[in-house]
Each structure stands twice: as structure tokens, then as C-alpha cells.
Chain A
């Protein structure tokens, strides 16, 4: 068993050993470079990169607090022969460096006529639940999913985290790798050997014939708990973990909806122009005839993430809220039948 934290560390370690062009850069990814004390004091704010500095001293680089410069630097290095893994400490800091991500990295391939290769990975923490308040809790991956040229990965467990990160590092396109900050200690069986998981292949984490629940990241576990409760009530939910939002395995969603006729999308990002709204639109456009009931979404409200614990708890999708949405949907269909 390995935690997500250690699975990511192992993926980085194995790729750095395999490929001398892989580097890790970011704020305090070692934590202490140039200090009188330990040079690897932090290993990232949550210790995810701990120990890499000792093994690869020239390829694990603490940066100043300078997101525009170091994210841009990683992108420029990717366009110049390296495979950088940059750590954007919180996805909320995207605003500081967004130009480099969406106007530069995302567009090189297309606007330079197919000659550019920019194999950069930006690892970043997202998500609420840690009382980190409005500027350190967001789930901003829809903004990145929106941008052609970027790939967006959101693992839900340690096995996927390792395989998807290795795929991300070997991938020749820019990849944003989003890690939910409440999940790092979650353990799963993780093979020691190196392996990859292809992008754009959703995983059915629970099969069921009544309702399809589509979700991603940490909410996979919330939805699974809801499905367990609903199963006791006689409602069989199919839970789909998208794993990547770009590319999106929309076919997997249609296949499941064909079976269930009902769809609930559960997501932690804001509801307007968010992931859930996007998937509902796709299903309405491409699989409308498969639906037996209006599709639903369970998301936070259109509001910033609050600080106070009771408010934050109200803000996030919970197993109870997911179950309630499913019950209402099933009830609607029964009533209308």
C-alpha cells in the first residue's frame, strides 16, 4: 500500500532516474536550498517531493516565489529539450502565471505550425476541505480544461496518480496534473514497477443500472459512499471516474447513460461554465434520447470557498447531497412513469 503522496514521489523518482532531462522545479520543492540547515527540509509544502533533492541535486530546483518566471521557465525549458515537472503550489496561484500556461505552452504546437514540442508537466494542489479559505481552496481545472492545447489530469487514488503522472511526464503535450490536497494520505495498492495509464480513459469504479454518477478526483470517494448508501435503498449507481478532463472520455459517459438513462455529475468546481455544466451540455447534445430524466449536477454554489468550518462543510458536495439528488431523480422518473 502506498499513499498518493508517496506514489507521486515514486513516479517522479523513477522518471528522473530513467530520463536525465526530467527536472523538478518549484517553490520549496526541496525547501532549504542555500540555507545553513537541511537542504531538503520540506520536500514541497506537503512533502511530496521529499528525498528527490538528495538523489538528483542538480535537477531539483527551489525557485524564488515567482510563479510567472518559474512556470514560464519550465515551459521554455520544455521547448528547449527538457521535461520539466513544475510545481504550482496551489492551483489558486494560476492567476499569477496564467499567461505562460494558456497563451504560451498551450499554443506553441498549433500556432508554430506543428513544429514545437512542449513536454511540461505542471503539478498543482486543488480543492477545499482544509479550511484554507477562498484563495487556497479552489478547483479551477475547468479553466484549464477550457484551453485547447492543454491536457488536464485529476487522479482519485494512488494507483492512478502514479500511472497518470508517469504518462504525463512522457507525454509530449503540456499537462496540468491536479492533486486534491485532502487526498495525499489516501492509500492504495501501487506496483513498484513503472507503468503508465493512458489519458482519456475513464474508469468505472462501481457498476450499476439505475443512475450514472460522473465525477473526478476526491469526489470519487464521496460518490462511492453515496452509492453504497443508495444501494442499501435499492438504487444501483454506476460511478465513473473521469481521471482526465482533457481529453475527456465522453463515450464512457454515453455508454453508461445508455444503460441507466439517468445522469448526475458531481464536481467541486464552480457551477457556471464548470465541468458539470460542460458534461451536461455534451450529454444533452449527443445523447439526449438516452435520458429518461433531466440530468442533474451537484456542485458548490456560485460563491467563493468560505473559511469557517461549518460554512465550508455546507459548501462542498457530500455523500448526503449526492444521494439526495439521485433519490429525487429516481423519484421524478417513477412519478412521471
Chain B
């Protein structure tokens, strides 16, 4: 692997056993059900604040995070629910966080854009586009200096790929050969502005070559392609050979934020995107290959729906933070 290449030829060096397939399906379905439910609850006015949904991009979070342990840390984006779920954050606590409740993963202090769980190696969704990339360099530097085989992953969008922080981080990671993977989720939009307008190149991965690291483009709707490409990049990073950039072409099923009327999108665009749904593709491939039975997947989907139902019910019933929470955790000590 080296240099920039579109449609990288992927050998099958990361075979999946049945358990891994079921786990991937569970992760993707949990993200989808979580997001679809949030979409409904937002419309009902039940959830405060700004929310950005990850639906449509599930194969990336699942295909990347299936390679990671708790010691491997990630930085995420404003569209971070999928990364958090794939990294093992507690789904019920995440839901309570979105509702602003005391039982939330961040005790209601963060909300959708700041979901984090350091114990799971999830260093935070981030309200500042591109801000996670420098932080991820720190993940890589820490892993290297402590002499571990841990890696960092920085998730970013095509919008963030124009930020100076991203470009500076590509350079620093390459110069220091940090064990780090930049995963660019190119959903074709920086907020409401199409990538065809906001950058003069077709593939963000082209920028990798300019910084001296491999850049790969994969179909981010294909769980297997993501998993394979990122698997190679992570092995490379763990070997000490430095960072990679993996660009995943994906579809954003919803608007930039919930409430976005999306007047900028063509009439059949979302319909077309739903027609190449990453989860449906996954199900088609594993069942037609006889690797997993449809009934087994349906059972998982039902478990997930129950989990999300319970998460919403419990979140709505959970207590709000109170005045005693207002000034806690500003500092460790002050």
C-alpha cells in the first residue's frame, strides 16, 4: 500500500468469522435505529439543541472501529453518534445525554456534539469542524512515546478536510510517523455546500500524497471495503510505519442538522442514496453467501429496536441535572 489510488484493489487478508459479521451488523443497526429514532424525537421537540445524524454512514464507523480496542483512541466530529456507538459507548447513556439528563454519558453537560467516553477510547464528538485532527496526533504521539501498539483514528468529513487543522495534522503525523489513521467520511457536503463547490479535487485522498502518506479511496457504503482498507492502514500504523488517510465515499441520509430542509439537494438524491444503503448491501452479501441466516439478523434487529425503545423511555424518565451539577467538573481542582 502506498501512494494514492482510487478503488484500491483489496485482497481478502482480513477474513471475517460469523461472530464478527453478527457484531458488525449489530453495530450498524444500532446506529441506524438510534439515528432514525432521534430523527422522530427531534421532530416531536423532545430533544434540545443541535443534532447531526450519521444515518447512511454506518459502514464506516463499524468498518473502522471493529479493528480497535479500548486502548485505541478516536476523535470524532459533530456527526459523532455512530463513532461513539461503534467504539462501545453505552447506548442508553448516550440517549440520556441527548435528552440532557443527569444519567447521560456526560451527565447532560455535553449533549449530542460532545459525547465522549475516555474509558472506551472515545475522546469526543466535537463541535468544531476539523478540531479532532490535532488531538488525534496527540493520541498517536502518546501511543508512540509510551511504547505501546495503540493507534489513533481521526474521523473527519469532507468539510473538515479544508480546515488548516486537518492539513497541519497530516503534516505533523507524517513527519513524526505517528500511528494514526485519518478517516475522511466524504458525504459530499460541508453543511449545505457540495464538495464539488468547496474543493477543486474529486478525492480528498489526493491530499495525502502531498504530505507523504498513503491515501486510499473506498466505497464507504461497503463495510467490507472499509474494513479491509482501514485494516491495512492500522497494521501499517501498529508496525510503526506511520499514518494513512482513508477516504470513504458515503451518503448522508438526512440534512446537515435536524431541521435542515435540505432545499439544496436534488429531488431524487436521498432516495438514490437510500437505494444503496450500506446496511442493506451488507445483509444482501452475507445472506446470499450463506454466511449468516436472515432470521438471525432479524432477531438482532429486534433486540436493537427494543434497546432503543428502552433507551428513549428511560431517558425521558431520567432526572434532569440540578443546581448542584452546574459548577462541578469545571476543573479537577481549583
Q: Report which A residues bind B (CB closer than 8 A).
A: 21, 23, 58-59, 61, 63-64, 66, 68-82, 84, 99-100, 103-104, 107-117, 148-149, 151, 171-173, 200, 247
Contacts and interface: CB of A to CB of B under 8 A. Distances in A.
B328 A69 contact: no
A71 B168 CA distance: 11
Contacts of B116: 108, 111-113, 115-116
Interface stretch (B23-31, B169-177, B306-314): B169-177
A151 B333 CA distance: 10
B136 A76 contact: yes
B104 A113 contact: yes
B333 A172 contact: yes
A88 to B, nearest CB: 13
A77 B135 CA distance: 7
B114 interface: yes
B330 A148 contact: yes
Contacts of A58: 145
Given A68-B165, A80-B123, A103-B127, A109 B134 contact: no
A81 B146 contact: yes
9 contacts: A69-B168, A75-B135, A76-B135, A76-B138, A109-B329, A111-B110, A113-B108, A116-B116, A117-B332
Contacts of A78: 138
Contacts of B117: 112, 115
B77 to A, nearest CB: 13
Given A63-B172, A111-B106, A173 B332 contact: yes
B131 A72 contact: yes
4 shortest interchain CB distances as A-B pairs? A76-B138, A72-B134, A76-B135, A113-B106
A76 B139 contact: yes
Contacts of B165: 68-69, 72, 99-100
Given A23-B145, A99-B131, A247-B334, A76 B75 contact: yes
A247 B330 CA distance: 12
A103 B105 CA distance: 20
A69 B154 CA distance: 13
Interface string B291-334: 00000000000000000000000000000000000001111111
Contact of B128 (A103, A148, A172): A103
